[in-house]
């Protein structure tokens, strides 16, 4: 698993791999259509390509989001769950039928993969700790709820409480996205702001000026002034 993580850190390699997956998928699908192959084969090719891209995106997201040390225990679990679930679904697409006894374990793994991927995305985009915490707690509550449905087949939360949790989760997720967009825009505007320097005092013409806390002061005449871009 460590070698896979090292590969995922190489962004250029991941991009090239995903690009070639899409290209090969398109070529195989086109060949199947032209040659007159079965639609089932073409559907399997498309499904495999989609799952490979989705699994790779999940693994990359978890790898990028694990710098948040608050959830350091769940990142390896989510990484393994996402990888296992992607391979299992691809195998089922190509005709492998798992026994019924594996239905609940596979469902549990799928929920873990989705929840940890969501937490990783929140870790990447949410700058505010309170937003991250609420989103993480919501993901944990929903995961436990779905696991209870899978293993015990009964509802542990009333419908209204579940609906309120859904509203809160959606609102916090949207706020995290808005916070991320605002932070990126502020960083971009700050990087593009022109740098202005003072060469002489506009009052007396002296070149002996000093800058402190955004305010420029002439040491000759004592006048202070600010620059505006």
Asked whether residue 59 carries a pLDDT value surpassing 90, the answer given is: no
Antiparallel, parallel or unpaired: β 209-212 and 224-225 = unpaired
- On the question of pLDDT at 108 being above 90, the answer is yes
**What is the distance between the alpha carbons of residues 12 and 102, in angstroms, rounded to a whole number?**
37
The order of strands in the sheet holding 215-218 is: 209-212, 215-218, 224-225
* Helix (H/G/I), strand (E/B), else coil: 137: helix
Looking at the predicted structure, is the pLDDT value of residue 78 above 50?
yes
CA proximity to 94, closest of 47, 50, 53 = 47
Beta strands in the chain (DSSP E): 209-212, 215-218, 224-225
User: What is the residue extent of each domain of the chain?
Assistant: 2-192, 195-229
Rounded Cα distance, 206 and 180, in Å: 45
Is there a contact between 93 and 47 (Cβ–Cβ < 8 Å)? yes
Q: Estimate the crossing angle of helix 39-65 against helix 11-35, to 10 degrees.
A: 170
Model pTM above 0.85: no
**Residue 112 scores a pLDDT above 90:** yes
Instruction: Report the distance separating Cα 31 and Cα 10, nearest Å.
Output: 32
Read out DSSP for 170-185? HHHHHHHHHHHHHHHH
> ∠9-14-7 over CA atoms, to 5°?
40
What's the pLDDT band for 193 if we cut at 50, 70, 90?
very low
Least confident piece of the model among 45-54, 89-98, 109-118: 45-54
């Amino acid at each position: 698993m460590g070698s896979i993580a090292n590969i995922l850190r190489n962004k250029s390699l991941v991009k090239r791999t995903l690009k070639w997956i899409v290209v090969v998928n398109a070529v195989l699908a086109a060949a199947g259509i032209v040659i007159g192959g079965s639609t089932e084969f073409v559907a399997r090719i498309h499904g495999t390509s989609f799952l490979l891209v989705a699994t790779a995106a999940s693994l990359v997201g978890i790898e990028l989001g694990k710098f948040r040390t608050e959830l350091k225990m769940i990142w390896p679990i989510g990484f393994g769950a996402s990888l296992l679930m992607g391979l299992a679904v691809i195998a089922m697409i190509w005709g492998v039928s798992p026994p019924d006894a594996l239905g609940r374990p596979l469902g549990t793994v799928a929920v873990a993969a989705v929840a940890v991927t969501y937490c990783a995305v929140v870790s990447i985009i949410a700058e505010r700790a309170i937003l991250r915490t609420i989103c993480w707690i919501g993901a944990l509550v929903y995961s436990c709820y779905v696991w209870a449905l899978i293993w015990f087949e009964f509802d542990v939360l009333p419908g209204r409480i579940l609906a309120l949790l859904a509203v809160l989760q959606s609102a916090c997720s949207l706020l995290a996205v808005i916070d991320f967009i605002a932070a990126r825009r502020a960083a971009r505007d700050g990087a593009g702001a022109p740098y202005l320097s003072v060469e002489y005092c506009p009052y007396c013409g002296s070149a002996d000026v000093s800058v402190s806390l955004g305010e420029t002061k002439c040491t000759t005449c004592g006048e202070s002034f600010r620059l505006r871009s």
